[in-house]
A and B are shown apart, each in its own frame.
Chain A
């Protein structure tokens, strides 16, 4: 079976740093994606990792360890608008759809 785990909820304050973890056990692996989804809106692509290591994009960074089946999304200098659900998703093989984790709801307070 396919299993992707991430925490259900996290809270943080403006200006802080937060790390959202994701672990996966899937039948195959062709990359891991992070999406941001605000309530009632579509998921927006944040990052993609297929090789081990850290990918940095402005305030957001994503890390992957394939041997550990582990990824994290790091958000720096948090802003109120970062309050959203963050979805970890795995492409099991090329050309197939994504398998999503249940998402982590992040609440940023002032």
Chain B
């Protein structure tokens, strides 16, 4: 089983709203990632959690706030977003702690900020 699930699939929000994206995996992976992908562009890393600790934060604006409640769950809290934040938000996971790892992606949440 190499499934990463994400909810919701689609989200429309106003610039004053607060919403959360959720990601879950039950593969026993200990590394989880958030990527942002704009149309016709490659995924760009936002955050990496390794063993539930934030290990990489690629200078993402504070209106994006990640949270890793446990090894299976990863959230991305959204607040006061801008229209340019509209994108596909991808969650991925990998085993963690190994030299060579494959990242498996979830289906993504397509976000539209109005």
User: Which residues of A come within 8 Å of B, CB atoms?
Assistant: 30-31, 33, 35, 40-45, 48, 50, 87, 89, 91, 94-103
Contacts and interface: CB of A to CB of B under 8 A. Distances in A.
Contacts of B105: 35, 42-45
11 contacts: A41-B107, A41-B108, A42-B90, A43-B90, A45-B102, A45-B104, A87-B43, A94-B99, A97-B103, A101-B42, A102-B41
A97 B48 contact: yes
Contacts of B99: 30, 94
Interface in B67-114: 88, 90, 96-108, 110
A26 to B, nearest CB: 14
Interface of B: 2, 31, 33, 35, 40-45, 48, 50, 55-56, 88, 90, 96-108, 110
Contacts of B44: 100
A82 B56 CA distance: 34
B43 A100 contact: yes
Nearest to B35: A97
B101 A95 contact: yes
A97 B33 contact: yes
Contacts of A48: 100, 102
Contacts of A30: 99-100
Contacts of B2: 45
Contact of A94 (B41, B42, B101, B106): B101
